Chain A
Amino acid sequence: MTKNRILVRILKDRIFLGFVLFFSLASIIPLFLIVFYIIKSGISAVNWQFLTHLPRPVGEAGGGISNAIVGTAILILISCLISVPLGIFAGIYLSENREGKLSYFTRLCVEILQGTPSIVIGIIAYLWIVVPMKTFSAFSGGVALGIMMLPLIVRTTEETLKLVPNTLKEASLALGVPYHQTILKVILPAGLSGILTGVLVSIARIAGETAPLLFTAFGSPFMNFNIFKPINALPLLIFNYATSPYSEWHTLAWGASFILVVFVLILNVIAKLVARKWKVQF
């Protein structure tokens, strides 16, 4: 092996490393660009009036995004009510029944659900709820978002509970504790941190979803607490204002984007903290 050949190989190695570094770092440039742009354009729009006032028609000064903030909160509430109990119990079933036909098909369906485009879920919620009710509503939006949350909650519950050692279940059963109490009062609490993390991460995901809300929650210029009427939401507002021709609305949309991104970020940080601080050691 001549010295030259070796040098060429080392050169190729260094060039390759250079490529890897270049492309890796280049990938996160958009992140900085986007975050920088959101902060630059959005932070100027955020003030007390912005957060507490309703949107004003074009041309009028002022206006805020209060109804979108409230709307997003209500939608999150509805979707959690639907998906969290259902998802956790399905996850318990899967961790208690590793084998079996139903377990196989359930896992398959959860995977399918996870990969389903959000706009298709929006269509489904439209067909199942908006059409029979003959109106757009927060409820239908919450159902759509709930369906989107389900796969993640089922998966994290199953993974978390699988990590709980079997000896814990046996210790409880050997004490004469009935099965359902064993699951609810011994196994579930032991896996609480993981399950909670899954819920928080799911919320962070659906908080920014727009497509399923386009023909369910639909959006509204008013403040609305009636879940059977259309409701505004942060992502909907951003979409509507961003694609409008009015620059004041663009500014508002940047402000709303800022709020949304901060919210998603905080949720993810809390989820990480919960995963670490509340983790039960076995």
Chain B
Amino acid sequence: MESPILKTVGLCAYFGQNCVLKNINLSIPRNRVTAIMGPSGCGKTTLIRCINRMHELVPDARVSGKIFLEGEDIYNMSPIILRRKVGMVFQKPNPFPTMNIYENVIAGYRLNGIKLSKDEQDRIVEDSLKKAALWDEVKNHVYRKGTFLSGGQQQRLCIARALAMNPEILLLDEPTSALDPKATSHIEELITNLKKDVTIVLVTHNIAQAARVSDFTAFLFLGELIEFGPSDRVFTVPEDKRTEEYLTGKFG
């Protein structure tokens, strides 16, 4: 198997005195979809927010342990650079309301003051929207503000925006929990197509979705990594009793 793209070693996360992640040792395989699941409050959102160092934006938040992206300690690099390598899509679609679709997709570059020629920008916007399976629906409307888009389309716009930065990893924090079933299945299909270009880490509380879409699954419970392995094994013959109880719905 290839070397993992991301490794956490002894990762602990704190809000003040409260420890929410306890000694996580996780390896994320490249070009695969890894699902992180677990009951509410288990720390799965905190975990991915540690990966792109958004966790430390909360006052009183601390982290100990190490995280390596392609072998580099992410705490030895600027968080800004890191966040350009690791993209994130949030639970509720959040396109920038003052910008149109085109500007939203290219926002990562423009807001950073990175100068690109008009042709390059056009190319990036078209590529990203195509990868996010949104191009056909908006190609004649790219200069309109995104408010006319449906929830699912807005979320795909956010995915396109993240993809435009050509990240190595894409973190998805419950991306479909605010969407209807049709939009959800669009996004799930998208995820499966994207993994050949970018590694995907998907946080979800929807067990069926994790089973449908992911190649590997990590199960978190009360801040601890209980189990990690190929999805078809974890979902059929889980090793840990707690995993089994979660999968059979004994606790939410």
Contact = CB atoms under 8 A, between A and B. Distances in A.
Given A171-B158, A186-B96, A176 B90 contact: no
Interface string B192-214: 00000000000000000000000
Interface string A167-201: 11011111111100110011001101000000000
A85 interface: no
Contact of B52 (A174, A185, A189, A280): A174
Given A175-B161, A186-B96, A189-B98, A170 B111 contact: no
Contacts of B96: 168, 171-172, 186, 190
Interface stretch (B5-13, B16-24, B78-86): B78-86
A280 B97 CA distance: 7
A32 interface: no
Most buried by B among A170, A176, A186: A176
B147 interface: yes
A165 interface: yes
Nearest to A185: B111
A281 interface: yes
B116 interface: no
A174 B111 contact: no
B29 to A, nearest CB: 23
A165 B54 CA distance: 16
B133 interface: no
Contacts of A185: 111
Contact of A170 (B54, B82, B112, B162): B54
B54 A175 contact: no
A22 interface: no
Contacts of B92: 167
Contact of A280 (B98, B108, B158): B98
Contacts of A168: 94, 96-97
Interface in B15-66: 52, 54, 57
A174 B164 CA distance: 13
Contacts of A186: 96, 98, 111
Interface in A123-156: none
Interface residues of A, number: 22
Most buried by A among B83, B87, B147: B83
A177 B108 CA distance: 7
A204 B109 CA distance: 40
A190 B98 contact: yes
Contacts of A182: 111
Given A170-B54, A171-B158, A281-B147, A177 B94 contact: no
B111 A177 contact: yes
Given A176-B165, A177-B108, A171 B81 contact: no
Interface of B: 52, 54, 57, 80-84, 87-88, 90, 92, 94-98, 107-108, 111-113, 147, 158, 161-162, 165
Closest 8 CB pairs of A and B: A176-B84, A176-B83, A174-B88, A175-B108, A177-B111, A167-B94, A189-B98, A171-B94
23 contacts: A165-B94, A167-B92, A168-B94, A170-B57, A171-B158, A172-B96, A174-B83, A175-B83, A175-B107, A175-B108, A175-B161, A175-B162, A176-B80, A176-B81, A176-B165, A177-B80, A177-B112, A178-B112, A182-B111, A186-B96, A189-B98, A190-B96, A280-B97
